[in-house]
Amino acid sequence: MIKKPKTLEIVLENPMKNIIIANTNSAGEVNLEKVIEQGEIEFNEDYINYILAALGTNYLHKSILGKSPVLELVLGEQVWNSEIIEGMPKSVIGAIDNEDLRITLSKEEAVKAILSSEIKQFMKDSVANGNTKIEMIAGKIDLFSKGYLEMYN
């Protein structure tokens, strides 16, 4: 019998909070255009990690063969890869050859996802609207063995 790994509880802190604070006036109004612009400029691995964790990487785990989940994210001209280690994404810039999934979206769309009040719903809508593309690279058995089905649900 296969023992299902425990899911990790993750507490997320928005990586753009300082940008949001810096672009909020004394009346509490946020200049969203400036926040998005600055977010695109300062885009880094914390943004990728935040998005992936919010989407449920705590459900992902090594396969029976010991292979970690790996995702590739294409954001315009930049390519990032993220290995999920004990439910936590570890992202670095650069392409990778053994990814399970490839997610393609613009930096602007990624920033808007981070700023959304419900990132999972935002990403579902983004896929439905054609602003984000998700490609399964690995086979279904490999994806299932790493917990992608639980993350998807």
Q: What's the confidence (pLDDT) of residue 9?
A: 59
**pLDDT higher for 153 or 24?**
24
Task: Give the HSE-up count for residue 36: Cα atoms under 13 Å, Cβ half-sphere.
Answer: 12
What are residue 72's phi and psi, to 5 degrees? -115, 135
Res. 18: pLDDT tops 90: yes
Give the pLDDT confidence score for residue 100 in this predicted structure: 97
- Evaluated on CA atoms 115, 116, 117, 118, the torsion sign reads negative
- For residue 54, what pLDDT band results from cuts at 50, 70 and 90? very high
Element spanning 87, H or E: none
Which 8-state DSSP code applies to residue 59? Answer: G
Do residues 70 and 99 make contact, with C-beta atoms less than 8 angstroms apart? yes
Average confidence (pLDDT) over 140-147 = 93
Q: What's the confidence (pLDDT) of residue 6?
A: 57
Please state the pTM of the whole predicted model.
0.87
